[in-house]
Amino acid sequence: MTLGVSADATRAVFSVQVAGKGEYIFGWKAGGAHAIVGPNQFIRHANLSSNGSKVLYDVDPVGGGANHVGTVAFAGGAMVDVASSVPTDSPDRWQLTADGSSLLQGTTGLLYASSGASVLALSVATFANTRLVNDGLVHPTMNTRRHPVPLLHVRPEPPSTAGHHEHHQLGRPGPNVTMTSVKPLTVHLNSVDTATVQGQVASTQVGDTVFGVGEAVMLNGVVDANVSRAVMYDDGTHGDVTAGDGRFTQSGVSANCCALLGVHTIRMLAEVEATDGLHHATVVEFKQLNVAA
């Protein structure tokens, strides 16, 4: 079965079942075919970068155990795992960028460096009343040139706001999110204390109305599910001082027993509804919230 073809159709990868041994990923180019990955008990997914340089594999090893996902050069050689024990229920296959430098995992929105050095969650639901992220557009994809097309893209802020990054919904700008803060800077395990996250939200277009604001807490590019992810309010509750002033607050950010220790990044999402009914969002990330024992 052919699993991937380069853009110029000069290279391809396909699976082969070898009796008594297992399944292999083979590569083909003019002159013949060669084994790249294997033997394996089962090949879940495989693909080829459009420039033909890198092969993506998602395989179950012979003898059982967790599946492994990663990349290897088309010519073969050292395999670089980026993830393991990956659930099989995603309706989307893994995708490689055109140059093979990154892998996008199905519908999770996780973008892995093929070197295994990093992972980034391209979009994160914050449980706010937001449609762009919660109602079906949470999952980034790739365009026909195999460039990631995330729901939100990253734009570093000027040096005067070091440590702060802003992401805009593709298309027209979303709302401005400024004056972000978290106090205190440390929370402890087992929810013994809480931090307050705040940010100022202002529409950039006449007629836009704020639809929802929320926060998530991340470590090394992905959500720490054991630190509060919640709606933020501008109604005089949840630590908000003045209702309707555009300053959104969530005072109940805590870490449960199993949160990861270390300095986390806070991701704050604000979404507006325009007069035409379309929604636009901005996400900012800012440091630092330390989780301590």
Structure tokens given for 187: 């929370």
133 within a domain of the structure (yes/no): no
Q: Is the peptide bond before 39 cis (omega within 30 degrees of 0)?
A: yes
Which one, of 17, 100, 86, lies nearest residue 56 by Cα?
100
Task: Please check whether residue 283 lies inside any domain of the structure.
Answer: yes
User: Is residue 73 situated within a structural domain?
Assistant: yes
Q: What is the pLDDT of residue 132?
A: 52
Task: Please write the tens of the pLDDT for every residue from 265-280.
Answer: 998 888 888 888 887 8
Q: Is 224 helix (H, G, I), strand (E, B) or coil?
A: coil
In CATH, what number is assigned to the domain containing residue 95?
A: 2.120.10.30
What pLDDT was estimated at residue 123?
A: 66
Domain span including residue 44:
2-121
Final residue belonging to a domain, choices 65, 96, 121: 121
Residues 6+ away with beta carbon under 8 Å from 136: none
- Please check whether residue 139 lies inside any domain of the structure: no
Q: Output the six-digit token pair for 61.
A: 């090893």
194 phi and psi, to 5 degrees? Answer: -135, 160
Q: What CA–CA distance (Å, rounded) separates 278 from 130?
A: 12
Cα(77)–Cα(73) distance, rounded to whole angstroms? 7
What is the CATH classification number for the domain harbouring 246? Answer: 2.60.40.1930
Last residue of a domain, one of 97, 121, 145: 121
Give the tokens for residue 48: 């080829």
Residue 277 lies in a domain: yes
Is omega for the bond preceding 140 within 30 degrees of 0, making it cis?
A: no
Q: What confidence score (pLDDT) does residue 80 get? A: 93
- The structure tokens 């088309």 sit at 74
Same domain, 183 and 85: no
Which of the listed residues 78, 106, 121 is the one where a domain comes to its end?
Answer: 121
Is residue 144 one of the residues assigned to a domain? no
Q: Per-residue pLDDT for the chain (293 aa), expressed as one digit of tens each?
A: 668 899 899 999 999 999 989 999 999 998 899 999 999 999 988 889 989 999 999 899 988 888 889 999 999 999 999 988 876 655 556 788 888 898 887 667 788 899 888 888 776 666 555 555 544 344 556 655 555 444 443 333 333 333 444 444 445 678 899 999 999 999 999 999 999 999 999 998 899 999 889 998 989 888 898 999 889 999 999 999 999 999 999 999 999 999 999 999 998 888 888 888 887 888 888 878 999 99
Domain identity same for 75 and 175: no
Residues 199, 102 within the same domain: no
Q: What is the pLDDT of residue 277?
A: 83
